[in-house]
Structures are given as C-alpha cells and as structure tokens.
Amino acid sequence: MEELKVLNQLLTEFYDKLSSWEQSVVKDTGYSLAQVHTIEVLGAHDAMRMKELADKLGITTGTLTVQVDKLVKAGLIERSPHQDDRRSILVVLTEAGRAVHEHHNSLHLELVQDLTRHIEPKQMTALIDGMKCMNREF
C-alpha cells in the first residue's frame, strides 16, 4: 500500500509539471490547450469522425464542435462528409494543421528526451511496459 501512495504522489507531481509545461508551450501559439490537443489527436490518427474524436478527447461532440469551428476558421482543420455515412462528418488536419502538429510533437519528443536522458536502458524498457499497462486501463 505504501508503494501505491508513493506512485500516486509521483504521478500527481508529474501530471502537474507536464500540465504546466504544456501551458507554457501553448501560450504563445495563439491556440488554446484544448485546440492543440485536438490537433495532437488528429495528427496521431488522421481523419476521424467527430464522435470518435470527441471520445478520444473525453469531451462532448457539442464542445468539440466549438473547437473544430475555431480550427476550421484558422485553416488548421477541414470538415468533409463521410463517404459511407452521410450523417457523419470527418475532420482532418490541413497542411498548416499538420505543421502545427509536427512542431508540437517535436517539442514533446525533446521533453521526453530531456526527461529520460539519465534512465538506463532496462529502466526505460520497464517504464515503457508500465506506461503501456496503465494506458490500457483507461
């Protein structure tokens, strides 16, 4: 039980630090953190239905519609009708949206490289395995 308390504290501290880092990286872009997260998910998964994207982000489709409207207006996302389901709308990054994604993703990679520079290969393998297990629980 003590290990769970320690892990809880460490995860909470890491989340707080990562959130702070994300805010600092996004603040000068002109986009909100929610908009950048939308771009991140689309960049990782390509074209998606609005419902799928909302589920990945953990938000309602109504909330997502507001985000997508702003990103369409900014030229970062395009909407198109789904080829097989006329009721569905697909959203996909534009070239400019892909550039924002690639830049933000490169910042993430730099952060991970900095954070793991002193981790031994066996520790890295254990960390990756542990994160995979935890992510499956969501």
Place of tokens 């996909």: 92
User: Alpha-carbon distance 57 to 38, whole Å?
Assistant: 7
pLDDT, tens digit, for every residue of 75-84? 999 999 888 8
Tell me what pLDDT residue 85 has: 78
| 13: pLDDT strictly greater than 90 | yes
| 71: pLDDT strictly greater than 80 | yes
pLDDT, tens digit, for every residue of 107-126? 999 999 999 999 999 999 99
Query: Looking at this protein, which amino acid is placed at residue 133?
Result: C
Q: Could you tell me the pTM of the whole model?
A: 0.85
Q: Are 100 and 26 in contact (CB under 8 A)?
A: no
Q: Helix 61-73 to helix 50-57 angle, to the nearest 10 degrees?
A: 110
DSSP E strand boundaries for 4-138: 48-49, 77-81, 89-93
Tell me what pLDDT residue 83 has: 83
With vertex at residue 109, the alpha carbon angle to CA 95 and CA 79, rounded to the nearest 5 degrees, is 25
Tell me what pLDDT residue 1 has: 79
Mean pLDDT of 30-54: 93
| 49: pLDDT strictly greater than 80 | yes
Tell me what pLDDT residue 68 has: 95
At 105, which helix (H) or strand (E)? helix 95-115
**Buried-exposed string 9-42: b where 16+ CB fall within 10 A, e elsewhere:** eeeeeeeeeeeeebeebbeeeebeebbbbbbbbb
User: Alpha-carbon distance 77 to 126, whole Å?
Assistant: 37
Tell me what pLDDT residue 87 has: 82
Tell me what pLDDT residue 125 has: 97
| 86: pLDDT strictly greater than 80 | no
